[in-house]
Copies of this chain bind each other. A is one copy, B any other.
Amino acid sequence: MNLEPITSAPDAAEMARRLARVREGMAAENLDAYVVHCPDNVFYLTNFHNYVHERPFVLVIPQEGALRFVVPHLEEEHVRVRAVGPIELVRYFEFPAPAGETWADRLRDALGGAARVGVESVCPLQVAEEVHGERVRSDIVDEARMVKTDYEIGRVVHASQIISEGHAELMAGSRPDEMIIGLFSSVTRSMTGRMLRDMPHANMLASSFAAVVQPPSVSHDPHNFTDVFARMEQGGPHVSVINCRVNGYGAEIERSFFLNSVPEAARRPFDVMMEARRIAFEKMRPGELMSEVDQAVRDHFEKHGYLDALLHRTGHSFGVTGHEAPFLAVSYERPILPGMLFSIEPGVYLPGVGGFRHSDTVLVIEDGNVSLTQADDELDTLTFER
């Protein structure tokens, strides 16, 4: 399995490999065509990134031959610049448009009377309702994305290197009273700069960087970033959060850390979180079910009386996004396979004490797993004297 970073653009052979996987899924479900609307799935199959707005982009996968991509006229050139592999553009002028000239008319053309047509679970109703054959809800592109190609792994290795450097910079700049938005600005600039040095033609529409820290007063509430002018504090746990999409490929790294002192009340939850993390790293290997990793983590937290302190599952995947299926979650009984990527981020959240969570971007290999992100993780190496 490739573990070297890749910074080149995907070639037509890579796109053909992905399409072949999707067509296997189509064959298994006896589909004559598949309709792709989700921008991440479009990007996976075309290397073209779009936002969802009132002018739809709809990709039609026929059983054979080139992809057919229904696009607004305004974006034709943009698609041609970015797309990789054989794609036939089927253009409409604008939305709204007169009858006979709408995106829906062109989608019907692209479907060409296919009898049995697959659509995504997240397909907008207005697109799904334009499928006039037998409509089958099936997430075969999402399925194809679950095991990464060597190329995807190389891109996520690269993204992970960038954010590991960014995280070191974030830790180096952390001190009591530091304004978090200032560090956000300098660390994201550094990461963006490295991306552009490595990939001067990076697609900024498919790139994003975040580098924040939750101070201990809010770190028990992991999606609370409401105070723009928040500053770091003495003690901890602070929780760092770096995530990214580096020219189309995602990764994340997070750490609970301390400034100058560790409150007594923080020691036990930190240790319990670390043990949960060790359990998750140990269990996440081919042959286990995803649900079993999360169940083992939950059992451990329950044993220590923290079941009420859980707010989320153990992990999610990465790929052409920074957050996607499959999931390390109870009841999600899928086998873990080599070439899958997961965050490992068991967390406990104690109001009045704080949030305890490390996260890494981790690749499943034949005999276990390997973390693609790098940072210290022990209490002593994450307690900074500043």
Q: Is A11 an interface residue (CB 8 A)?
A: no
**Max chain B Cβ within 10 angstroms of own Cβ: one of A226, A313, A324:** A226
- Hey, which chain B residues are within 8 Å of A53, CB to CB? 323
Taking CB atoms and an 8 Å cut-off, the chain A residues in 305-342 that contact chain B are 311-313, 316, 323-325, 327, 329-332
Interfacial chain B residues near A325, Cβ < 8 Å? 54
| Closest residue on chain B to residue A227 by CB atoms | B201
Judged by a CB distance under 8 angstroms, whether A27 is at the interface is no
Considering the complex of A and B, which 5 residue pairs feature the smallest CB-CB distances, nearest first? A98-B331, A121-B126, A122-B124, A96-B332, A77-B221
Return 19 A-B CB contacts under 8 Å, by A number. Answer: A54-B323, A74-B311, A74-B312, A77-B221, A78-B223, A94-B313, A96-B313, A96-B327, A96-B331, A96-B332, A98-B331, A99-B331, A119-B125, A120-B125, A121-B126, A125-B125, A196-B228, A200-B229, A201-B226
Return chain B residues, CB-CB under 8 Å to A124: 121-125
User: What chain B residues lie within 8 Å of A201 (beta carbons)?
Assistant: 226-228
How far apart sit A128 and B125, CA to CA, in the bound complex (Å)?
A: 7
Beta-carbon nearest neighbor of A333 in chain B: B96
Residues on B with C-beta less than 8 A from A99 are: 331
B73 near A331 (CB under 8 angstroms)?
no
- Is A278 in contact with chain B by the CB < 8 A criterion? no
How many angstroms between the C-alpha atoms of A30 and B262 in the bound complex? 60
Q: Mark each residue of chain A from 68 to 104: 1 if its CB lies under 8 Å from any CB of chain B, else 0.
A: 0000011101100110000000000011111100000
The distance from the CB of A302 to the nearest CB of chain B, in whole angstroms, is 14
Given contacts A200-B228, A204-B225, 8 further A-B contacts (CB under 8 A): A54-B327, A73-B311, A78-B223, A96-B332, A121-B125, A123-B125, A201-B226, A201-B228
A73 to B74, CA, bound (A): 41
A355 to B124, CA, bound (A): 33
A202 on interface, CB distance cutoff 8 Å: yes
| Residues of B contacting A381 in the complex (Cβ-Cβ under 8 angstroms) | none
CB distance from A150 to the nearest CB of B (A): 26
Q: A222 interface residue, CB < 8 Å from B?
A: yes
Q: Please report the total number of A residues contacting B with Cβ < 8 Å.
A: 55
B interface footprint on A222-260 (CB within 8 Å = 1, 0 otherwise): 111111110000000000000000000000000000000
Whether, in the assembled complex, A137 has its beta carbon less than 8 Å from a beta carbon of chain B, the answer is yes
In the complex, chain B residues whose CB is within 8 Å of the CB of A316: 54
Cβ-based interface call for A129 (8 A): yes
Q: Which residues of B contact A222 (CB under 8 A)?
A: 74
Cβ distance A22 to chain B, nearest Cβ, rounded Å: 18
B contact residues around A54 at 8 Å (CB): 316, 323-325, 327
Q: Shortest Cβ distance from A67 into chain B, in angstroms? A: 20
Q: Shortest CB–CB separation between residue A234 and chain B, in angstroms?
A: 24
Most buried by B among A74, A78, A203: A74
- Rounded to whole Å, the gap between the CB of A94 and the closest CB of chain B is 5
CB of A308 to closest CB in B, whole Å: 11
Q: Which of A78, A125, A311, A330 has the most CB of B within 10 A?
A: A125
Most buried by B among A54, A128, A200, A205: A54
Closest chain-B Cβ to A38's Cβ sits at a distance in Å of 9
Binary per-residue interface labels of chain A (181-225) against chain B in the complex, 1 for a CB within 8 Å, 0 otherwise? 000000000000000100011111100000000000000011111
* CA A99 to CA B129, docked complex, whole Å: 28
Report the minimum CB–CB distance from A280 to chain B (whole Å): 16
